[in-house]
A and B are shown apart, each in its own frame.
Chain A
Amino acid sequence: MRRPYHRSYPKDWWLRHPHYRRFMLRELTSVFVAYFAFWTICLLFQASRGPEQLAAFLTTMRKPGWLIWHAIGLLAVLFHTYTWFETAPKVLAVRIGEKRVPDRVIVGAQWVAFVVVAAVFFALLRLAG
């Protein structure tokens, strides 16, 4: 006789191991990436309405509530970036001959690229400003 026992998957599975919690954090922080994209569109929209509207928008953004909110958002996005870079070696198996390029080289290369792109961006801003 056979009577297989079925176990249902626990709803709180993501609380049951640090790795799962970390995974959920990674997924949730991606919301801030979308948020900042939306915020950038808002910024451009205000800019298109003229200098006064833009100035008013920026004044609002300097209020402490907004600053705190965006500081949190920045941390979240940086964490998300970090996890994204960490997982990249799994997606990109770069091989040179028989040898696989070590994971840390791929991760390191991304950070270097990140810093370079950020530096160029701020340099352009400074030139424009």
Chain B
Amino acid sequence: MAEETIVLRVQRYRPEQDSDPYFQDYEVPYRKDWVVLDALNWIKEYKDGTLSFRWSCRMGVCGSCGMMVNGRPRLTCNTFLREFYPNPITVEPLVNFDIERDLVICMDTFLEKLKKVKPWIIRREVKSPEEGPYNQTPAQLYRYKQFSMCINCMLCYAACPVVGMHPEFLGPAALALGVRYLLDSRDQGWNERMEEVGSHEGVWGCTFVGECSEVCPKHVDPAAAIQQGKVLATLDWFKRWLMPWGQK
């Protein structure tokens, strides 16, 4: 019996030989329990070792394998072939990033943006570990928990038209993490963090397309984080200019 197959139309770009990206078709075995990443690995192992892409955990938590699958940003480790079979599947590198090679994007811009929101706890008075953990009730935890679930997979950046048109926009993932620290009861870095989060490149750059939350594989809901960031920034503005005496 002939094996069932499916066609993967993969975007290629090898900087040392290609001037522009092009598409290459591969016919791969179709298996109901295979994800797109399995098919890419099959190509790499048995057909064409020159195809480059990133992957690691294959269980949807490391965030390496985000690609455009039929035009939508997806984690290829949890996008099953059966969703598309028997139609061909188009695989491209995530949009809104430069292409390093084939399906590998340049992540540098994101790392700079991540650092800008100061994604670490800032304390005025530091407690020594010997004094034990800070107290944080489940209600305080749940205020920011959802926004701490971001795996930095970059699907939201590929989905966001603002990122595409204004590359300086900090973007959904970085802003969600900024808001995550603003909402953490242990953090005391409100003012310095708000300078970035509440800036024009920060939450105010967002036009609320909402697509970041649609594509987020971890239900972080960065759009919600950003809108709540706008509320926080507005309250912050009122506090600063109308009640300067109210500053902490």
- Residues of A that sit less than 8 Å from B by CB: 1-7, 9, 13-14, 16-17, 19-20, 23, 27, 87, 89-93, 95, 97-98, 100
B142 and A98 contact, CB distance less than 8 A: yes
- Interface residues of B, CB < 8 Å — how many? 33
- Residues of B that sit less than 8 Å from A by CB: 13, 15-16, 20-21, 71, 95-96, 98-100, 106, 138-139, 142-143, 161, 164-165, 207-211, 213-214, 221, 223-224, 227-228, 230-231
A1 and B15 contact, CB distance less than 8 A: yes
Given the known interface contacts A4-B106, A5-B20, A90-B221, the answer about A19 and B100 at a Cβ–Cβ threshold of 8 Å is no
A-B contact count (CB 8 A): 72
In the complex, which residues of chain B have a beta carbon less than 8 angstroms from the beta carbon of A3?
15-16
Q: Which residue of B lies closest to A97 (CB)?
A: B139
A93 and B224 contact, CB distance less than 8 A: yes
A19 and B210 contact, CB distance less than 8 A: yes
A4 and B15 contact, CB distance less than 8 A: yes
Q: How far is the CA of A1 from the CA of B14 in the complex (A)?
A: 11
Q: How far is the CA of A106 from the CA of B76 in the complex (A)?
A: 35
A2 and B15 contact, CB distance less than 8 A: yes
Q: Which of A13, A16, A87 contacts B210 (CB 8 A)?
A: A87
Q: Which of B15, B138, B165, B230 contacts A9 (CB 8 A)?
A: B165
